[in-house]
Amino acid sequence: MFLKKVYRYNKLLFGGMLFFILMQLFVFYKGGMVFSPWYNYGMFSEKIKPQKRYDWYNVIAPSPTRRILSPQKDDKIFVTLDKFVKLPMNDSLYNHDVGRLFEQAMLSKPSAHHYIYHLDVAAIKTLFAKYSNKAWPNNIDSVDHYTYLRIAPTSVIWNNEALIIDTTSSF
Amino acid sequence: MLAKPFSSHGRKQFTNYYVLLFYCLALYKWLNGIFLYQIGPQFFNTRFDGTTWLFMLTDVHLWLLDNKAGWFIFDGLFYSMPLLYWLVYQKSMKWASLVAVLMLIVNWIYVQCYTLFPTNSIEAHVGWLLYPFLLMAIKPKSFYFLMHAMRYVFLFFFASAAIWKLRQGGIFNPEQMSGILLMQHAQFLVDAPDYWYSKMIYWLIKHPPIGYVLYAGATVLELFFLVGFFTKKYDKFLIALFIIFLITDYLVMRIPYFEVLPLALPLLWSRYLEPKGNGEDVE
């Protein structure tokens, strides 16, 4: 058995490995919060059914042929928009969970500034213009297009045939 | 053919492959504009990770916001570490071990910060967090055992993904893949509804049984990694499965998960036997 061999060879190495295994099993068993470098690899494992509505960003994108080979570049743009929209989650995570964890560890609740950060819409528009100009060069005449970008997703509706833009949602 | 004991030659080969892979991935990331200086982070998202919450008390992530010099320093440190290690390794194993300690510190700070910014998930970077421990080993025998420990981490990475699908019930949902594809590709499908790729994804969405076969196939593939806990006989086959998974993930999900490639390296050397004696080189 592997661990037995490690134990015979070096007790310290064995102790380290045992600790790693126990922590990984603990994080796996609890199934919620993780502690780097112990993670849960459960992406797309919960039940996911087709929804009526999805988020979509009204962005002038280049031809799909240009986009298809570089999902990283797409991610850079859309993940940034998505994460910006989700910034308020920092607040709830800090208010509900960070304090609780520190209290459980008999520590005082740390200052909010470590965990909460707000960025104004003008800054994210500048960042978005920079990303899109780099990722999709020559796609548009000017990044000015994006000064009108609405930094909130629009609803698209799944009608069992295709996703269509919800014309009733405000732009 | 009889398997040979693992030696310093095997270790050297392993190190060369690791460094080569690291720089191939670095080139890929640079071309895709995802070095830290290319991202140019302006904000961060706190995640549900206790270690990260402790790390955030240092405010290093805040220091990096809108800090061009900081981005270059961080990229410079992170991307030079394997080269530095490799250069020192050619001269002295003991000094290389010290470089690995430095690499451990640099990698941890870099990865913690990088993944707080809008980039990708920290789980994919687990290899960069753990490999420095392996590179610290001086004796071939210590390296051999740590390499096998990394092999188990890799096997767990995949096998646990399958167990999660059973535990959370995704595998019992006939519409699972349709739901995932809609969620994953909504932006692209609306942007380019008539493009061949969108038509292919729509077809899969509208044929849930076929989508489900894909999802169940991925689960079985991941489950197969459990075999590796009992025998090393199928390690080459597991590498093939791993590559199939990466390609399928890229094509169907548009998820470039190449960052986990180094985790598979131990499977290439697992056929070697445990070094003899007290762990000194046997050559």
| Residues B189 and B233 both lie in one domain | yes
Lowest mean pLDDT among A23-32, A56-65, B118-127: A56-65
Burial B37-75 (b: 16+ CB within 10 A, else e): bbbbbbbbbbbebbbbbbbbeeebbeebbeeeebbeebb
Q: How many other C-beta atoms are found inside a 10 Å radius of the C-beta of residue B190?
A: 19
Question: pLDDT, tens digit, for every residue of B252-271?
Answer: 999 999 999 999 999 999 99
Confidence category of residue A171, pLDDT binned at 50, 70, 90: very low
What residues in chain B have per-residue pLDDT under 70? 1-2, 278-283
A to B CB pairs, distance under 8 Å? 213
Q: Which one of A5, A19, A35, A43 would you mutate to disrupt binding with B, by most B Cβ within 10 Å of its Cβ?
A: A43
Residue of A104 and B215 predicted with greater confidence: B215
Q: What is the pLDDT of residue A140?
A: 54
Whole-number Å distance between alpha carbons of B8 and A164 = 60
- Does B48 share its domain with B145? no
Same domain for B147 and B76? no
What percentage of chain B's residues is helix, strand, coil (to nearest 5)? Answer: 75, 0, 25
| Segment B248-256 long-range contacts (CB within 8 Å, at least 24 positions apart) | B248/B218, B250/A71, B252/B181, B252/B204, B252/B214, B253/B180, B253/B184, B254/A71, B254/A74, B254/B184, B254/B185, B254/B188, B255/A71, B255/B184, B256/A71, B256/A72
Kindly list the residues from chain B whose CB atom is less than 8 angstroms away from the CB atom of residue A94.
Answer: 46
Chain B CA closest to residue A127: B42
CA atoms of B106 and B97, how far apart (whole Å):
14
Domain finish residue from B117, B138, B159? B138
Residue B259 lies in a domain: yes
Last residue of a domain, one of B89, B115, B138: B138
User: Per-residue pLDDT tens for A134-158?
Assistant: 777 766 544 445 555 666 778 899 9
The SS3 call for residue A38 is strand
pLDDT digits (tens, 9 = 90+) for B229-251: 999 999 999 999 999 999 999 99
Pair B146, A57: CB distance under 8 Å: no
Domain, as residue range, for B134:
1-138
Return the structure tokens found at B41: 């982070």
Judgement on whether residues B156 and B133 belong to the same structural domain of the protein: no
Which residue, of B90, B109, B138, is where some domain finishes?
A: B138
Alpha carbon dihedral B218, A47, B118, B45, in 10-degree steps, equals: -140
Number of domains in chain B: 2
pLDDT given for residue B276 in this prediction: 81
What does residue B274 show for φ and ψ, rounded to 5 degrees? -65, 135
Q: Is residue B258 part of a domain?
A: yes
B92-to-A38, B89, B268 alpha-carbon distances in Å:
32, 5, 25
| pLDDT greater at residue A69 or residue A102 | A102
Average pLDDT, chain A: 86
Question: Does this complex have an ipTM over 0.85?
Answer: yes
Contact check, Cβ <8 Å, B145/A5: yes
Q: What pLDDT score does B150 carry?
A: 98
- Is residue B282 one of the residues assigned to a domain? no
